[in-house]
Homo-oligomer: A and B are copies of this chain.
Amino acid sequence: MNSPQPGRPRDDRIDHAVPAAVRALLAEVGYGRFTVDQVAARAGVGKAAIYRRFGSKAEMVFASAVHDVDTGPVTDTGRLESDLRALICQVHDIMDTPAARVALPALIEALTADDTLRERLTDTFLASELADVREICERAHARGELADHVDVELAHLLITGPLIAALFVFHLPVGEQLLDEIAHSVYLTLTPTSCERLASPETR
């Protein structure tokens, strides 16, 4: 019926070799002195094979660096703060890969000029993270830990922002304690303080 299409099929090994070479080179030389020809040579591949798969250098880097960000479902710890803590840890693990440490800054740079890339990021990474935050909040609301209307986008910024700043801008060491503190900060921000709850429980 449908002939699997004529001609030589694409080589699956290339689909793996190229992103691997990209990550290796990113870790070695960074994004600045990073060349498509180098990637081709390293992967033992022609440039045409690369450009048949990726529309541009930026796309190639982006697709190669964040190749398996399907983080799976958010672990349910039973309490809001530790759920947040788990999510933050998950995000951190994605960002602190050797390849990601150089690819994400490059991605940030590329985003300023490339609207398509920006849209794609919004639709995939951002959407998925917002969904995760929303899920956590809904679970907390179901448990009565949280009011029904929380600003999910704000929460997302409070979670990712400090991580991005620490990792990619100020290049500070990011330890467990910092993740705890960020989680606690978000928790405090999302939950009405005891004081408010005690003082005016009916105002809401």
In this complex, which of A31, A151, A157, A184 has the most chain B Cβ atoms within 10 angstroms of its Cβ? A157
Contact B112 A169 (CB under 8 A): no
Contact B31 A113 (CB under 8 A): yes
Measured CB to CB, the nearest residue on chain B to A162 is B161
Q: Which residues of B contact A189 (CB under 8 A)?
A: 181, 184-185, 188-189
A108 at the interface (CB under 8 A from B): yes
Residues of A within 8 A of B (CB): 30-33, 101-102, 105-106, 108-113, 118, 121-122, 126, 151, 153-154, 157-158, 160-166, 168-172, 178, 181-182, 184-186, 188-189, 193-198
Contact A109 B194 (CB under 8 A): no
Q: Which residues of B contact A163 (CB under 8 A)?
A: 161
Measured CB to CB, the nearest residue on chain B to A184 is B189
Of the A-B pairs whose beta carbons lie under 8 Å apart in the complex, a sample of 13, sorted by A's number, is: A31-B109, A157-B161, A157-B170, A158-B158, A158-B162, A158-B185, A160-B169, A161-B162, A164-B165, A165-B165, A188-B193, A194-B196, A195-B198
Contact A111 B118 (CB under 8 A): no
Measured CB to CB, the nearest residue on chain B to A178 is B154
Q: Which residues of B contact A188 (CB under 8 A)?
A: 185, 188-189, 193
Copies in the complex: 4
Measured CB to CB, the nearest residue on chain B to A29 is B113
Contact A165 B157 (CB under 8 A): yes
Top 8 A-B residue pairs of the complex, sorted by shortest distance between their CB atoms: A194-B195, A161-B161, A161-B162, A161-B165, A30-B113, A109-B109, A185-B189, A157-B162
Contact of A109 among B105, B157, B166, B196 (CB under 8 A): B105
Shortest distance from the beta carbon of A167 to any chain B beta carbon, whole Å? 10
Shortest distance from the beta carbon of A9 to any chain B beta carbon, whole Å? 16
